Every structure is written in structure tokens, then in C-alpha cells.
Chains A and B, each alone.
Chain A
């Protein structure tokens, strides 16, 4: 090889020595290792997936438990198979635990609550209420949050003014009702409704203008999610429930919404940003893929791309978060019950069984303990299943 003139050497390697060293050190050290680990994990994952044609013992146990609970709940609700009347009171058995040797608690396998009602039918019917509320709430979050999240992820940075105006006006109205309503009501002394409407209109106008100036659906929807997440979930759910339930007098007259529906709405609203953010992140990453552009280059409409191309890819992530969400919602129902809002007695729910007898924790712990154990096992099973779903659908880029 002939001698190289100095200039060639200069340009050819002017940046390369440093780069090379850096690259080498990275590759030799960190990268090499992580690549190995990655490769190992992929191989192991692949083998694991092949070996575990089924779900594994834990997952089946979790599924079994959930099926059992759902079955009991449905049977209790429909009355096909009852274990007694959940509202019948046996005064002499009040607060008697399952192992009480005195009194007449023998007939009651799980004991009685403080009103002397058999625990078994109450827990069974409570399962129905708790699961109904939790599942309903997550369905609300799943549908609304998923839709908003996918809109944000797909149109993020794409949509021009119209979407921005709509989203901006919506955010503005929500804020306007909350902030403007308070300001007008307190400062000027307007009526609640009038103040809220005035605040909403002003907020919508401001938000719409902002949306028109910088029309970006993603910014506004992510803004909504972030604001909703920044309000402590339990406070938001509590105020929503209290607001929607209305006063006790109204309820006594049979007015107002049914408490189950109120809980579904309240917890559902809280879960919207949780599901929405997951859906947005997932949709955002899938929307960058060439197949979305390819679908557009084949003349597909936006709606079609979202439903046919994006949704099937986004669903696994949403399902996994929803299973975890149901678990959280069950706990949330219990928490709200303890805070004094929610399903009204005599209708039992796991939450209000605990709430009613939390004062008897020392005298007769079995009441709280039994309901808590059911919540604990159900939440555990749901969390476990959520993890299984996530890890099974968590397909690596290289695996596609």
C-alpha cells in the first residue's frame, strides 16, 4: 500500500480515533454485555414461551380463583343458589365468629356480622357488588381512556386546528367549570350553577382559542390526563361520588342515581387517565411504524387505520393495565366505603362489610378479616394475571 498523503489521513481519521475508542469501550464493555444479556433473555424467553405452552400453575390458580368468585357472585345475585338470606338477622348470633363455642353460631360456617346476619350470603352478594363496580369502572376507563389515548397517540402532532380547538375547548370548559365556578361563586357571589356555566363558557373560549393557535390534540389530551392524575385519585373519586350520590334525603325518597352506577362513574373517571396514558404511549409507538404509513399509502382512512391497524396492537397493553385496574378498583370501592360513601346498606359489598364492622375489629375480627381476605386474594389473582398477560404479549421488536 502506498504511503498515504497527510491530508487523507487527516480527513479520514479526523474524528475516528476518539470515536473508535469510545465505540470500542462501549461495545467491549457495556454494549457487549447488554447485548449478550439481551440475546440470552430473548433466547430464554423464546424457549420459555415454547416450553410453557400453557399458562403455568400460578396463572391457572389465579384464573380458578376468579372463576370461583365470579360464579359465586352470579349465583348469589340471580338467586339460583343461595346460602341463606343476606338480610335475615339472627340477633343471638351477632358478632359471633366461626369458632365461637358459646351461643348458636354453629350453623354459620363463617360466623355472623354485628347485626347477626350470616356472613356467607353477605360475602357472596358483596362479591357481586364489588366486582360489578370494579369491572364497570374499568370498562368506562377502558373505552373512554382507550379512545382518547389512541386519538392522542395517533394524531399526536398531526392534527391541525379542528382537533386542537375541540380538545382545547373541552379542557378549557372542564377547568373553567372547576376554577371559574369557584372564583365566580366565592368572589362575586353568583349562584353555583350560573358560576359554573360562566366559568365553563369562558374556559371553553380560552381553550378553543389556544387550540386554534397551536392545534395539537396530543398536547391537550395529555394535558387532561396529567391534570386528572395530579388530583389525588381517592379525593377525586370521593368528591365525585359524594357529588353524584346527592343528599341522604334525596336517596331516602328514591331519587338520585343508584349507588353502584355512581361508583362506576366515579372510579371509571379516575381510571380514564391511567388507561389513556398507556393507550397513548402504545399507539404513539405503533403509529410510527411503516405499516401505518403503508396503509395510508394504500388509501386507508384514519378511522380505519386506528381500528384495523392500531387497535389490535394496542389492546394487549390495555388489557393488562385493565386487569390491574380492576384490582385497584376493588380496593377503591372498599376505601370509599370506609370513607362513608358508596353502596348503601343493606346491600352488601366487600367494602361496606368492612366499613360497617370496622369498629368491632378487636371484639370480632372475623367480619373484617373475611372480607379483607376475599379482597386480598382477588386482587392478588388479578395482579398476577395482569403480569402474565403483559409478559406474554410483551413482544420484543426482534421477535416480530
Chain B
């Protein structure tokens, strides 16, 4: 214990200097399976400051959820190989055992899950589900915890919170349940909130409400948030910074406005062009990214996105591009970035040669 304490001492100073709440460096999470090592998260680094929001965007199976659970330390111990460093408020979390992590879970960092239908206990009253963690982490009486829970329900805009406290999850609608989940997650005033696709299971009509609610709570509590989604539209107006993940790595990371105005990574472009636009004519065929995400057991050599990329050249298939920081804060992993002469030339060549992805992209543009 003393060893690890002395080992983390320098990082403590470094972290407090930079003022970062969470500093993730080269985190790798690999799963041992019968087929081989699944590289679900493969060398992810980022820092997150207090009160800021990081959007993590990517397709299903690109490691978003595993990344958030790795940071929280919620993954099973067996068959999981973890490496890298996670520094939260100057403390190295990877050294901590489950007992010490329990102090962080709920109280310091918390998580909202995708499906509010399964993330609440069906046989426990709403009030109890909220007060559970309050009473565990804070030394308060039952009456005080109840009062706190009612205030929480009020703040997540649930009408008649006193009555709701005595209801069971099945008596609430999906949007209401997600609000309850938010209330549960916020109960002990965490400094960091992971929201793992919090609106995916909700009606489009309530998605915006729930996201606005989370943003309001975040502002009020000056809380940092990691917003995980597969929808660039969700993070567009809400994240300070966006990290695009593909095959367990960050392929592009930039402040939100920079990312949308000046994206470099063909994958980001492809994700964006796959969102239907309002100005499109009716019955416009939606743009898709051809192919599937790569097998994480045997990922392709070179750039992992190359097989599906409109810009891919021979070099992409042989040599993996490093994560380069072109402008401060804007990083990407590409040999032929979008919006550069090399990129345009590569795309032109691919179109001439009839590369599937390039043709598809051209088609999406002409339509």
C-alpha cells in the first residue's frame, strides 16, 4: 500500500497542476476468449476537466461501453486483461481493489445505463432505490434520505415526487424511468457521470428532454460527464469535446465545433453523412458505411477502418497511422485526411477505380 501511495504521489501533483478531474492514459482492455484475445479497448487516452462533457461516438462494438466500464472498474476480473493508467482527482484508480473502489462508485463517479427498463429493480420502490446509495455513502437518517430523494425527483422534473417514491418502476413510463435512473445516479453528488447511450431506448420525443435535463443537472453541479452515443447528433450541441472511437481506439478527437467544421477522419465523415438530413428530398436513400466493424480478435493490419474507407490507399492497408495532433486539441489517425489535397487525391483515385466505399460516398453526395 505504501509503495503504491508513493508511486501515485508524482501523478497527484501533475494532475492537480493541470486541473484535470480524470486523466486516462493508454487504457487497454482485452478479453480472453476461446477465439483469442478480443481487443475491446486498445490504447485510449484522454483528459476530462471538471464541468466539461466528453462525447464518445462510434458504432456498436467499437468499445465505447467497455471503455466506460473499464474506467469505472466495473468489469469482471476474470478473463480481462487491463493496462494503462486512470487517474481520478490525482489518485490512480487501477491500483485500487473493489473495497476502495466502492468509495468512488456512486459517491464520486456514477453511471446511467442505456435501458431504463432493466436498470431499475422491478420489485423495489422508487424511493428505496434512490435512498439505498444515499444511506450507504452519506451518514444520514432515513427521513433525511427520503427528503433528499424527493428533492432529487423534483430536480429531475418528476411530478408528485412524494407519490412516486412509493411506486414501482413498472408504474412509470420509459422517460420517467430514465429520469429516476438519473436521480439514482446523481443521488450522492458524483463528480463524474458516465451516460452510456442514455437516450437510445427512449422515444425520440423524450430524448431531447432527458438530454436537456442531464445538461441542466451537469451545469448545476459542475459535474464532468462522459456521454456515450452512436449518434453524432446527440453530442453535437452538448459535448465540449468529441472523441470518435473505432475498433477500440480513438480515431479522431477534437473540440465539438472544430470536429464538425474541420473533420479529418474519413470515419467521422462517414458517420456524419449517415445521419439523415432534413433538407433531403423524401425517400432519399440513407447513406451507409459499407461493411462491418472489424473483428477485434484479428484486426486488419494497417488502419482498422481501411477496408471500409473511401479514401483508403495501399499505405493505409499496410501501415497503421499514428494519432497525430495537427492543431492543439485536434487529433486524428489518418494518412489521407478529409479536406486535404492528399485526401482529395486519394478519394478521386478510389472513385476512378470504383472502390465501393468511395462510390457510395459519391452517390450520397450527389443525391
Binding site for B on A (CB under 8 A): 1-2, 4-5, 7-8, 10-12, 157-158, 160, 289-291, 293-301, 304, 308-309, 312-313, 395, 399-400
Total contacts A-B at CB 8 Å: 101
Contact B77 A296 (CB under 8 A): no
The verdict on A11 contacting B137 (CB below 8 Å), with A2-B363, A294-B111 known, is no
Contact A312 B124 (CB under 8 A): yes
Contact A308 B291 (CB under 8 A): no
Contact B170 A300 (CB under 8 A): no
Contact A400 B170 (CB under 8 A): yes
8 Å CB contact of A300 from B104, B118, B133: B133
Taking CB atoms, residues of chain B closer than 8 Å to A158 are 76-78
Contact A7 B354 (CB under 8 A): yes
The docked-state distance in angstroms from the alpha carbon of A300 to that of B131 is 12
B305 at the interface (CB under 8 A from A): no
- B interface SS class: loop
8 Å CB contact of A297 from B110, B120, B123, B366: B110
Interface core residue of B74, B119, B291 (most chain A CB under 10 Å): B119
The verdict on A296 contacting B105 (CB below 8 Å), with A5-B359, A11-B290, A313-B122 known, is yes
Contact A11 B119 (CB under 8 A): no
8 Å CB contact of A295 from B76, B132, B188, B359: B132
Contact B122 A298 (CB under 8 A): no
Taking CB atoms, residues of chain A closer than 8 Å to B170 are 399-400
Closest to A399 in B: B170
Contact A290 B366 (CB under 8 A): no
Contact A299 B106 (CB under 8 A): yes
Q: Tell me the residues in window 169-212 of chain B with beta carbons closer than 8 Å to chain A beta carbons.
A: 169-170, 181, 184-185, 187-188
8 Å CB contact of B137 from A1, A10, A299, A399: A299
8 Å CB contact of B118 from A4, A10, A12, A291: A291
8 Å CB contact of A293 from B74, B102, B106, B169: B74
Contact A308 B119 (CB under 8 A): no
Contact B113 A10 (CB under 8 A): no
Taking CB atoms, residues of chain B closer than 8 Å to A7 are 354-356, 359
The verdict on A297 contacting B105 (CB below 8 Å), with A8-B356, A12-B290, A289-B118 known, is yes
- How far apart are B173's CB and chain A's nearest CB, in angstroms? 13
Taking CB atoms, residues of chain B closer than 8 Å to A10 are 356
Closest to B358 in A: A7
Taking CB atoms, residues of chain B closer than 8 Å to A308 are 124, 132
8 Å CB contact of A294 from B104, B113, B360: B113
Contact A297 B72 (CB under 8 A): yes
Number of interface residues of B (CB under 8 A): 46
Shortest Cβ-Cβ A-B pairs, 10 listed: A298-B106, A299-B106, A298-B133, A290-B119, A299-B105, A312-B123, A297-B111, A290-B118, A291-B121, A7-B356
Taking CB atoms, residues of chain B closer than 8 Å to A293 are 74, 113, 119
B325 at the interface (CB under 8 A from A): no
Taking CB atoms, residues of chain B closer than 8 Å to A301 are 102
The docked-state distance in angstroms from the alpha carbon of A376 to that of B113 is 51
B309 at the interface (CB under 8 A from A): no
B136 at the interface (CB under 8 A from A): yes
The docked-state distance in angstroms from the alpha carbon of A312 to that of B366 is 58
Closest to B112 in A: A294
Taking CB atoms, residues of chain A closer than 8 Å to B184 are 294, 298
B147 at the interface (CB under 8 A from A): no
Closest to B116 in A: A290
Contact sample, A vs B, 6 pairs, CB 8 Å cutoff:
A11-B291, A158-B77, A291-B118, A297-B74, A312-B121, A399-B170
Closest to B76 in A: A158
Contact B360 A8 (CB under 8 A): yes
Taking CB atoms, residues of chain B closer than 8 Å to A313 are 121-123
Taking CB atoms, residues of chain A closer than 8 Å to B356 are 7-8, 10-11
Closest to A5 in B: B359
Closest to B169 in A: A400
- How far apart are A312's CB and chain B's nearest CB, in angstroms? 4
What sequence of 0s and 1s flags, for each residue 109-148 of chain B, a beta carbon within 8 Å of any chain A beta carbon?
0110111011111111000000011001100000000000
Closest to B118 in A: A290
The verdict on A300 contacting B136 (CB below 8 Å), with A5-B354, A293-B113, A399-B170 known, is yes
Taking CB atoms, residues of chain B closer than 8 Å to A12 are 288, 290
8 Å CB contact of B132 from A289, A298, A312, A400: A298
Interface core residue of A291, A301, A312, A400 (most chain B CB under 10 Å): A291
